[in-house]
Amino acid sequence: MISRKRFIIVGTFFLMALFFILYRLADIQLIHTESFSKKGVNLVQESVNQRTQEVVIDDGRGRFVDKNGESLRNKVEPSLVLFPFLKDITWPVEELSDLVNVSSYELKSRLQDSTEPLVLSSKDNVNLSNIDLEKINKLEIPGVFGIYRQSPIEETIGEHIIGITGENAEVLRTKYPDREDLSYKTQIGLTGLEKAFDEFLLPDEETKLLYHVDGDGNPLFGVNVKYIADSNPFYPVTVKTTIDKDIQGIAEEVLEKQKVDNGGLVLLDVETNEILAMVSKPELDRSAGVTLTNHMVQPLFPGSIFKTVILAGAIEYGLDDATREFNCNLNLYGESDGGQDDGMLTLARSFAKSCNYTFTTLAEELIEKDNNVIENTAEKLGLLGPVGWSGKVFHYQNFKQLPDERSGKIWGDEKDKKVQRAIDQTAIGQKDVKVTPLGVANMMATIARGGHKEQIKIVENILYKNGTNMFSFTSNLLEEEKISPLTASKLQKQLRLVVTDPEGTGRRFQTSPYEVSGKSGTAQTGKKNEQGQTLYNKWFAGYFPSSNPKYALVVVEMDTTSAEAGTNASFYDIVADLSKLNKQ
């Protein structure tokens, strides 16, 4: 009786196991053949792929160009394709050798070691012209093709702007549940513009050369190679950015030369409020997650840059008496600690020399008049953000061109508005004050335009494959209150005095080829280096030419000692290089 019971249990177990195996086989071969597992793997296609060798000419993903139509990531390059079955057949290698200026011995040698299609281009010292490609294809040699192939630009620029892509099947299926045509290997945008415009950039179909092989890699259906191309006249799209490739290159070279390894810059066109260049350091490295962050859209301690806000508030509230003097021998708390010796200064010279006591005094007086005056003034200047372009784009009600941008903040606790020392520290851009370099650039552009506030654009258009317009990004106003034209005019004079005053913190720029207006900033970060030295964020922000503003520029170096900062030198070099560029 017991043995019969055991037999039934064991038999039931084996039947259940057999049933599971049969179900699994049916699931693989009959039920979910085109969408297997959470990744949505197309098993039919994968089985074909195992017997296929291919050369991808274009992955079908949309691309990015600068404002002049220059590619920012990929280039189309004439290339020679040789399929590996050539080493097993007789073919006119000498004729090809004469055309491509590569010895027949070298061509055969490279083929002998290849198990996959061989693609040769300029990096392999195979330099081909349009005419060469035509001649190669007229030879009609099976397995030999002259093609234009999309390939990455060797010296990439604007990496934090464009961002990166990667494979993530689960995110792909969650984000695009209706796109069953997408392979689980489809690249999706992870950062930057690749992330923001991902849905527009998704590929329709790859353009490729392919042929089928048996288990040993030999041609399965002869030596016929198929050309598969995307016939859609509208996709892939092109995202036309506002970036100027030449200026972006200059910006990256300058920061490299001045050894700004941690920080970056933002350069705006004052008239259009478009980003011409943006650089974030450290350089993007996929293997180091921390480098994926674009620091130009992340809040940082601004230091004395923030005194611009206090000055604007003082002007708006009538506290800018030109004859009033402040005792700049006192520290920010109004104490005499021997650290300051600037004597009695007017408001104008206090701003030029960045006297802390003047602006802590004004901040206290402003708070007495209006508890929210500091944050309201920062909003009027377009500082706090988010300031990147946002609006309705097709079914997106709040599409953001810079989705990683974070808002700045001023107060960590509302109770601090009643604490004198907290007000004083806030007035000079410390305590809990953090703003983005993008926001600071926008503030300077707003002042340069006389108080007119707009969202910042980094993309102008999305274009269809045939060049027609899919969507244009209009200039959007920032709807909050703004400073008066009179306030803007007074701020312009004060920012210019920072440079023209013999003791101004921006006096270095007196010799710039363009007249510069701006403000410096030094903010303690609360960190120390290995030698125990205090680390700072060092800033210079402004616009130029002063009399007819064209550019607004912010340069910041993070976590640096004051003596080592390359901020001012970088700003100076950018101004000089733009002057040279505009004279060409």
Q: Which residues are catalytic?
A: 304
Q: At what angle do helices 373-380 and 356-369 cross, to 10 degrees?
A: 110
Return the amino acid letter for 56. V
Are residues 575 and 512 in contact, defined by beta-carbon separation less than 8 angstroms? Answer: yes
DSSP E strand stretches across 107-186: 118-120, 144-152, 165-167
CA trace torsion 206, 209, 211, 217 (10° rounding):
-100
| CA–CA separation, 1 and 84 (whole Å) | 67
SS3 210: strand
Contacts of 262 (CB under 8 A, 6+ apart): 281, 282, 557, 558, 559, 560
Q: Which residue's entry shows tokens 């810059």?
A: 265
Environment class of 327 (CB within 10 Å of its CB; exposed 0-12, middle 13-18, buried 19+): middle
What does the block give as tokens for 509? 């720029």
DSSP E strand stretches across 457-528: 459-463, 469-472, 517-528
Are residues 275 and 402 in contact, defined by beta-carbon separation less than 8 angstroms? Answer: no
- Sign (positive or negative) of CA dihedral 205, 206, 212, 215: negative
| CA–CA separation, 68 and 40 (whole Å) | 40
Nearest to 405 by CA among 444, 458, 461, 473: 458
Are residues 574 and 512 in contact, defined by beta-carbon separation less than 8 angstroms? Answer: no
Q: Which residue's entry shows tokens 């350091």?
A: 281
Tell me the CA distances in angstroms from 22 to 8, 11, 26, 41, 43, one per residue in order: 21, 16, 6, 20, 17
79 has which bridge partners?
Answer: 147
459 has which bridge partners?
Answer: 241
SS3 568: helix
Number of Cβ atoms within 10 Å of the Cβ of 416: 17
| CA–CA separation, 461 and 401 (whole Å) | 11
User: Half-sphere exposure of residue 253, counting CA atoms within 13 Å on the CB side?
Assistant: 11
| CA–CA separation, 142 and 131 (whole Å) | 20
SS3 389: coil
